[in-house]
Amino acid sequence: MTQSAPPFSLSSPIAELLTQRYGEEVASDYPVIDNPAIRLALGHRSVRAFSSRPLAPEVLPTLITAAQSASTSSNLQVWSVVAIQDPEHKDQVAHWARNQEFVRQAPLFLVWLADFGRARQVAEQHSREIDGGEFVESVVLASVEAGLAAQNAVLAAESLGLGAVYVGAIRSHIRPLAANLKLPPQVIPVFGTAIGYADEAVAHSIKPRLPQSAVLHHEYYDGATQLPAVDVYNRALDAFWKKQSIEHPLWTAHILNRLKANPADQRYELRSILNDLGFLLR
């Protein structure tokens, strides 16, 4: 049986979430099906200020159980995660994450890893040689798996009333972070996730996203939809920043600036870093 979307109402809770996610100009274009899981996904917000409230001991195994329930290619399970809770260790890791204070604040910081080290150990145990970890495909595969696992964990955390934020800044200092975490060859940090209870004294708002016409293509890619959608998004995001009383450039200016190579950022040396950490990238 095909499930149809319920009648769309501008006063419904799902409509309010859609308005926050897409802005008022296009939110009513998406008559989505309303259920608790959809509301949870739509309500995601990045939390960059955490309270001092500790996490229950059951939280970490719950999040990892959710993470391990994500899809894995050919059941290879080529990812791992390092859970960092010790305040001194978090302080060290925060240094390698552009010194962002919320990494120190969060009671739990997870470093997600692309991990072919486990497969290498299995190969050595069985006196076999494998070279699957030496290809670009290996890094892509393991990074995708880490991302899928992390998103499951974040959704689980948010279902428990926790907040989270992803931290790509750890890739700016992969070499020292890998040494700090004692990573073996063919294991690399991909990104981090800070998790804890949000400090509700600090505003954490749902940031608008591009209209669906920018990201959804029917049957074939249609580049003609891109620039009109970007114009709509510039207006929606600009309204969001003004509501936050934050001076911020238009999204188009932001991406043009952000996607320009920065020689000071080690992320732009990633090929040589991967080679150093055992990925030959054939």
pLDDT in tens, 100-142: 999 999 999 999 999 999 988 898 899 998 876 778 888 999 9
Using CA atoms of 159, 161, 162, 166 in order, give the dihedral in degrees to the nearest 10. Answer: 50
Sheet holding 108-115, edge to edge: 79-84, 108-115, 187-196, 163-167
Average pLDDT of every residue of the chain: 91
Average pLDDT over residues 81-105: 96
> How high is the pLDDT of residue 199?
95
Distance from CA of residue 231 to its chain's centroid?
Answer: 25
All domains of the chain in start order, with CATH: 13-43+209-248 (no CATH), 59-199+263-276 (3.40.109.10)
Nearest to 142 by CA among 235, 212, 225, 80: 80
> How high is the pLDDT of residue 1?
38
> How high is the pLDDT of residue 132?
67
Lowest mean pLDDT among 107-116, 256-265, 268-277: 256-265
Q: What is the pLDDT of residues 182-205, one digit of tens each?
A: 999 999 999 999 999 999 899 889
Write down the residue that tokens 């030959």 correspond to.
280
Which pLDDT band holds residue 166 (cuts at 50, 70, 90)?
very high
Residues whose CB is less than 8 angstroms from the CB of residue 179 and which lie 6 or more positions away in sequence, other chains included:
none
**pLDDT at residue 168 is higher than 80:** yes
For the range 83-90, what are the long-range contacts, defined as Cβ-Cβ under 8 Å and sequence gap of 24 or more?
A: 83/108, 83/109, 83/110, 84/108, 84/109, 84/110, 84/111, 85/109
Query: Could you tell me whether strands 108-115 and 79-84 are parallel, antiparallel, or unpaired per DSSP bridges?
Result: antiparallel
> How high is the pLDDT of residue 273?
86
Average pLDDT over residues 159-175: 95
